[in-house]
Amino acid sequence: MTWLRTLAGCAAATACLLTAARAEETDPGAIVAAQFAAGGNHTGVRASGAKGVCLKGEFVPAPGAAALSKAPHFAKAVPVTARFSMGGSNPKVSDKAKPVTRGFAMRMEDPAGDMVFVVISAPVFSTKTPAQLLEFLQVRAPGPDGKPDAEKIKAFSAQNPETTRQAAWLNARPVPASYAGVDYWAVHAYTLTNAKNEGKVAKLKFVSADKAGLSDDELKAKPDSFYGDELKERLAKGPARFDLVAILAEPGDPTADPTASWPEENRKAETLGTLSIAAIAPDAACDARTFDPVAELPEGVAGPTDDPMFAIRSPAYAVSVSRRAN
């Protein structure tokens, strides 16, 4: 991997060309179509995170954040538009579902340019390449009986064992008691560059201040949609807070494979700031723009140029928005 990237994100022409080239290796339209098919082909919804709630809040940087990144968002408090969601394209998915990731998309707003992250409640993604993602989704498409073919999924998993890591991680943990009660990871490796043009590779994690999981009995007692009401009650008492932590890479840590996790307990971590979610917002506040974590990164924060799953996100999101609007 490249440790000191002198060109940051898509602000650098070379990085943009690399990102575009990788994104074209698999048709993003085919991936989005497969996402919708796997979720039941609902219309007017997102291809991923169809069920969710829009939010407003604030990000306050930690005193030492600017030493890691020159992004203006790490120099002063900025407003945030965010959205919690359930994974997948089914807007009727149960909040009790497992193994399903919970999602957290956010836009940290600044006049000089926004900073967008899309993170999930697991340290790894389900696939490492767009082609693998397409097949992962296709084998999960419901058949005439409304159910996916278990044998196809089993065969695919045997041939692609890394695609089982996320589900195994989620299955080993309780269902979160709240959207705000679980940690979220940006599964890609970012490069943070400061004003001295010193770069550090890191994975970003949003650490909940109030983690809580549900026991089996507690889960059985819940209705299929309880996260929205729980969040209203929680925010009526005060903001939901997350610390943004940069987990710093060491030599040998993979940066091009989002199915591979880093040993966090053995890595140095730096707190970049605190994200406070203060209120639920109208859906229109989140629907007006796409949360694009590839195109919307400021100078001082760069996504990976060697991770094809990062590259495919921007064109896939554009296809999803187009389908949702038509």
pLDDT 10s digits, 197-254: 999 999 999 999 999 999 999 999 999 999 999 999 999 999 999 999 999 999 999 9
Q: Which CATH architecture has domain 9-325?
A: Beta Barrel (2.40)
Over residues 83-105, the pLDDT tens digits come to: 999 999 999 999 999 999 999 99
Q: How confident is the model at residue 192 (pLDDT cuts 50, 70, 90)?
A: very high
The three-state secondary structure class of 147 is: coil
- Global pTM reads 0.92
The three-state secondary structure class of 49 is: coil
- Give the other-Cβ count within 10 Å of 294's Cβ: 22
Q: How confident is the model at residue 326 (pLDDT cuts 50, 70, 90)?
A: confident
For residues 172 and 219, give the distance between their C-alpha atoms in angstroms, rounded to a whole number: 15
Annotated binding site: 317
Over residues 3-24, the pLDDT tens digits come to: 333 333 343 333 444 444 444 5
Q: What is the pLDDT averaged over residues 31-41?
A: 95
Every domain of the chain and the residues it spans:
9-325
Over residues 239-284, the pLDDT tens digits come to: 999 999 999 999 999 999 999 999 999 999 999 999 999 999 999 9
- Give the other-Cβ count within 10 Å of 60's Cβ: 14
Annotated binding site for heme: 317
